[in-house]
Amino acid sequence: MTGPLANLDGRRSVPSKQLAAPGPDQPTLLRMLRSAVRVPDHGKRVPFRFLRIAGDARLALGEALVARALERDPQAGETVLDKDRNRFAHAPVVVAVVARLGPDEKIPESERFSSASCVCFALLQAAQACGYGAQWLTGWPAYDPVVLRLLGLAEDERIAGFIHIGTPKLEAPERDRPDPQSLLSDWMPHA
């Protein structure tokens, strides 16, 4: 792949299960975040912040998810619980992108959440550009109020995404991409 869009065209996710150590160290992660925060931001609200979940904290979070999953469904089976236990166990570093919302006189919440989502995408690109693989995941923990409290989110904060980052164990296969031509039409004024 060559040309000015080669980097963009080469972007793809690496499933979190295929991400191993080493992950980015502190300076490298900060470098990636410096690129990722350059998102369009209506009103310059900076409606996002980051939580790093790394090392043993990933495993502790997994155990907390199992406890919460059992509260939500006491009949949950071992397969389901194991999935929750290991949600954060694969990639060495997970960055939770937290959307900071709340009342705002001018900028709609959806626009501020969009900026936080753009950060997620920009972080995927930055990780790949730095030689890492990454995947944007949510799942039920991103929406469960008990988990959000456990993560220290305020009432007016939400998870835009968990960005799992690590070294790819294998080359992720390409998947079919939408055909832009079939998605593009011209708007015309009515006569």
Ligand X SMILES: Cc1cc2nc3c(=O)[nH]c(=O)nc-3n(C[C@H](O)[C@H](O)[C@H](O)COP(=O)(O)O)c2cc1C
Q: Which residues bind ligand X (CB under 6 A)?
A: 12-13, 135-139, 161, 175
Q: How far is the CB of 137 from ligand X (least distance, A)?
A: 4
What are φ and ψ of residue 131, in 5° steps? Answer: 95, 5
Q: How far is the CB of 181 from ligand X (least distance, A)?
A: 19
Comparing every residue's Cβ against ligand X, the nearest one is 13
Return the number of the residue (13 or 86) whose C-beta is nearest ligand X: 13
Q: How far is the CB of 47 from ligand X (least distance, A)?
A: 16
Count of alpha carbons within 13 angstroms of residue 109, beta-carbon side: 9
Return the number of the residue (44 or 175) whose C-beta is nearest ligand X: 175
88, with CB counted inside 10 A (0-12, 13-18, 19+), is buried
Return the number of the residue (64 or 116) whose C-beta is nearest ligand X: 116
Return the number of the residue (24 or 133) whose C-beta is nearest ligand X: 133
